Amino acid sequence: MDEQAALGLYRTMTRIRQFEKRAHDLFLQNLVKGTTHLGTGQEAIAAGVAAAMRADDYTFVTYRGHNHVLARGTEMTPVMAELLGRQNGLMRGKGGSMHLLDVSRGVLGSYAIIGAQLVIANGTAWSAQYRGSGQVTVCFFGDGATNIGAFHEALNLAAVWGLPVVFVCENNQYMEYTAIETVTAVKRPAADRAPAYGLPSAVVDGNDVEAVYEAATAAIDRAREGGGPSLIEAITYRHGGHSRADPGKYRPADEVAEWLAKDPIPAYRGVLISRGVDEEVLDQIDAEAKAAVDLATEEAKAGPEPDLEMAFTNVWHDGGWTWRN
Amino acid sequence: MDVVMPRMGETVDEGTVNTWHKDVGDQVAEGEPLVEIGTDKVDTDIPAPVSGTLAEIRVEADQTVPVGTVIAVIQ
């Protein structure tokens, strides 16, 4: 990988880390409306996969989706403003943290219903296949979704129709408060099951951004060239709790410490320095990320709260709210 | 900077200060556990939002206050 591309991966991860840190702070100040699920610790997956995608490809994400929206290039301010429930938010303040969507960048939604996005992702993949557009759909989901029926239905249909879709499981080891291994018969909840539906699968270190990028490139290229669907299971760990102020105390302290030591961002920083990248260049990227988050926070806070009348806008496709049957 | 009682859940309107991990006058570092907050659902350590000196504790341990109440000030 050339140095500019590598620095791009580092920049994306750093921006996400700083954004999530601020989101947590703002949540504790009661400025984030509703709930929030942070992707801190899982940045390498979002950054590595997004770097392997074409600008017009589609992304589907879960309620833990800030990472992926930012990685696809959506500006920080509308994302931050959405978390704060302001009119200058991505969804005009009507969606919140769990419902980020940016059609202009192919991000066709964040889904709070576990597993829902897998079957819907098949829809855009089918559309691309029908139109011959060469677009690939990438669908992210968590380890817990692999024990939901929609996971199995989606993989089966994608294989039967040879759809250009890549399913990416972010296995952070916990389905909410439950360790996935305690409720799942196989060791790799996604990758071990994909072959049963005829999908090739790969297991990758989800904290190694270049490993993720390489696995994603192979899977996306395969889908684009008509090779059909495949699945990647990226092994990772969320640094914090499941949501809100969840302290995550159901996780053993030594396990948490072990994974904090595998933090993808310092690890990649070390890799880049060992290749001869000047530390000052990385410090500059860190500083720019912090400045960008500061600016986004100020711009988001300056946005007005939604007007009451906005409850009656954007309900149906035509922008209105009246059911016309 | 004011430290406020966070909203621990969507339907939770108040919280209890279980334990202060620091005393007035102590130095605190950003991200360091400052106070444990309890609700009927969960007990959680709240990290210091900024580095500085813990200037005031406005809500003592075992007191329950509404979400948004200033519970401490860091200078």
Write down the pLDDT at residue A84. 97
pTM comes to 0.92
Judge contact between A20 and A290, C-beta under 8 A. Answer: no
Q: Is A294 on the interface with B (CB under 8 A)?
A: no
| CA atoms of A140 and A117, how far apart (whole Å) | 8
Q: In sequence order, what are the residues at sequence separation of 6 or more whose Cβ sits closer than 8 angstroms to the Cβ of residue A319?
A: A313
Span of A81-85, B7-11, B18-22 with lowest mean pLDDT: B7-11
Residue of B nearest to A24 (CA): B49
Residue A321 pLDDT greater than 90, yes or no:
no
Element (H, E) at B30: none
Residue A164 pLDDT greater than 80, yes or no:
yes
Q: What is the pLDDT of residues A17-49, one digit of tens each?
A: 999 999 999 998 889 988 899 999 999 999 999
Question: Min CA distance, A244 vs chain B (Å)?
Answer: 7
Whether A34 and B10 lie within 8 Å, measured CB to CB: yes
What's the average model confidence in pLDDT over B34-51?
88
The rounded percent of chain B whose pLDDT value lies above 90 is 72
Nearest to A158 by CA among A109, A107, A217, A198: A198
Contacts of B47 in chain A (CB under 8 A): 28
Write down the pLDDT at residue A279. 97
What's the token pair of residue A52? 């392997």
Write down the pLDDT at residue A325. 64
Q: Is A29 on the interface with B (CB under 8 A)?
A: yes
> Does residue B40 or residue A269 have the better pLDDT?
A269
Residue B34 pLDDT greater than 70, yes or no:
yes
Write down the pLDDT at residue A322. 84
Q: Is A11 on the interface with B (CB under 8 A)?
A: no
Whether B67 and A35 lie within 8 Å, measured CB to CB: no
Among B1, B2, B4, B7, the residue to mutate for chain A (most A Cβ within 10 A): B7
Residue of A nearest to B50 (CA): A25
| CA atoms of A239 and A236, how far apart (whole Å) | 10
What's the token pair of residue A44? 């390498």
Residue A189 pLDDT greater than 70, yes or no:
yes
* A245 residue type, one letter: A
What's the average model confidence in pLDDT over B20-48?
91
Burial of A234 (0-12, 13-18, 19+ CB in 10 A): buried
Whether B42 and A30 lie within 8 Å, measured CB to CB: no
Whether B6 and A30 lie within 8 Å, measured CB to CB: yes
Among B41, B42, B67, the residue to mutate for chain A (most A Cβ within 10 A): B42
Whether B42 and A246 lie within 8 Å, measured CB to CB: yes
CB pairs under 8 A between A and B: 32
ipTM above 0.85, yes or no: no
Span of A35-49, A126-140, A309-323 with lowest mean pLDDT: A309-323
Write down the pLDDT at residue A33. 86
Q: Is B29 on the interface with A (CB under 8 A)?
A: no
Strand ranges in chain A using DSSP code E only, listed in sequence order: 58-62, 107-111, 137-142, 165-171, 174-175, 178-179, 201-205, 230-235
Contacts of A30 in chain B (CB under 8 A): 4, 6-7, 67-68
Mean residue pLDDT across chain A: 96
Q: Is A253 on the interface with B (CB under 8 A)?
A: no
DSSP state of B52: E
Q: Please report how the helices A3-28 and A43-51 are oriented relative to each other, as an axis angle in degrees rounded to 10.
A: 140
Among A21, A29, A33, the residue to mutate for chain B (most B Cβ within 10 A): A29
Question: Min CA distance, A83 vs chain B (Å)?
Answer: 14
Closest CB from B6, B42, B43 relative to A28: B6
Judge contact between A72 and A38, C-beta under 8 A. Answer: no
Judge contact between B4 and B45, C-beta under 8 A. Answer: no
